[in-house]
Amino acid sequence: MGLFSGMSEKMKAKAEETKAKEIQRRKEYFQQFLLEGEVIESLYPVGADSLAMTEWRLLFVEEFNTDKSRVLITLPYSQIVEVKMVLGEMYSFSNKVYVATRSETHEFAFPKFIKEEEVKEFYLKLMQKIRQMGNTN
């Protein structure tokens, strides 16, 4: 093993450690907004913040109006009427997913470092949740 390959492994390990700490920090942030018994099932970075999936809703923070204040938004899966995933070149996935309710549409722009498999995973999990909610009504 050469000098640079060893450094690369150390850098990868440090990056993974930093990523794990950041995920834990964001998870702890969302914990304060969960109802009793509610659990975060998945957490994804979007924009400057995160998107949390629980068993019955999406939670995320978004800039509000022109004053740039931030608001916590809850989208129950049962209220979602449309989901769009933007395709990239040659039917690859881009980093954007749009989720619409009857009143508005929210754009989730995943950072470029997120692999397209993770964007697809989010899309498929969301579609599964919507289907489950539709089957219970």
Spatial contact of 93 and 84, defined as CB atoms under 8 Å apart: no
Separation of alpha carbons 104 and 99, rounded Å: 9
Instruction: Return the number of other C-beta atoms located less than 10 Å from residue 81's C-beta.
Output: 11
pLDDT at 131: 93
* 39-95 per-position pLDDT tens digit: 999 998 887 678 999 999 999 988 776 777 888 999 999 999 999 998 876 665 678
Which residue has 């979007």 as its token pair?
46
What does the pLDDT look like over 2-54, one tens digit per residue?
A: 545 555 788 778 777 777 787 788 889 899 999 999 999 999 888 767 899 99
| pTM more than 0.85 | no
User: CA dihedral in degrees (53, 54, 57, 60; nearest 10)?
Assistant: -40
**pLDDT the model gives residue 136:** 44
**What are the extents of the domains in the chain?**
3-136
With beta carbons less than 8 A apart as the criterion, state whether 95 and 119 touch: yes
- Per the listing, tokens 């800039």 go with 63
Is the pLDDT confidence value at 124 over 50? yes
- C-alpha distances out from residue 46 to 5, 8, 61, 105, Å: 31, 27, 9, 15
Task: Evaluate if residue 96 carries a pLDDT over 50.
Answer: yes
Instruction: Give me the architecture of the 3-136 domain, per CATH.
Output: Roll (2.30)
Give me the pLDDT at residue 137, please. 44
Question: What's the pLDDT at 50?
Answer: 86
- What pLDDT score does 129 carry? 95
Q: Which residues make beta-bridge pairs with 54?
A: 40
